[in-house]
Structure 1
Amino acid sequence: MVKITVGVEGMACGMCEAHVNEAVRNAFPVKKVTSSHTKKQTIVLAEKDIPEQELKKVIAAAGYDVVSVDCEPYEKKGLFSAFKG
């Protein structure tokens, strides 16, 4: 899985967050999307990497500006992850 952290300018409230989340969910097969207007970021968890240009296009079409995109491998931290060796 991958974790994509997107810097998003223009979100001002919870409805803006929901608008961005819905746009991303409708455009890509994602596991989870969370946005924060106070942190000015959206975090996307997906099985496969999402092309940066496509992600920017979808968020821009929703009316927001993407200022950064950072992608990193994501490993779910479950209750038993400490016991895996």
Structure 2
Amino acid sequence: MYKTTVKIDGMMCSMCETHIKETIRKTFPSAKKVTASSKKKEATFITDDVIDLSILGDSIERTGYQYLDSETIPYDKKSVFDFWHHR
């Protein structure tokens, strides 16, 4: 699994956050745990495979927001069992 963090300019409110989340879900239907924050100027989501960041940037720009940067890193899903196992 992979976690992608996207830096976005132009989000001003919760409706902007909703637009970004919808855009990500439409562009990458397999995206999970999609979040967006106008305060942090970023969105994050999880995918099973590495995504094409140029497609992500184009879809955000078409929505009317400015795509600044993005990063995809490996993501290890943590569970309650992992917490107790490592204690």
Query: Which category describes the TM-score, using the shorter chain as reference length?
Result: over 0.9
Q: Distance in 1 between matches of 2:32 and 2:48?
A: 7
Task: Show structure 1 runs of 5+ residues with no match.
Answer: none
Give me the TM-score of the superposition, normalised by structure 1.
0.93
Q: How does 1:1-85 map to 2 (within 5 A)?
A: 1-28=1-28, 29-82=30-83, 83=85
Give me the TM-score of the superposition, normalised by structure 2.
0.91
Task: Show structure 2 runs of 5+ residues with no match.
Answer: none
Residues 5-41 of structure 1: CA distance to partner in whole angstroms, max 9, x if unpaired?
Answer: 0000000000000000001101112122100000000
Superposed structure 1 runs of 4+ greater than 4 Å apart = none
Tell me how large the CA RMSD over aligned residues is: 1.0
Residues 46-66 of structure 1: CA distance to partner in whole angstroms, max 9, x if unpaired?
Answer: 111110100001111111111
Aligned residues: 84
User: What is the percentage of aligned positions where both structures have the same residue?
Assistant: 37
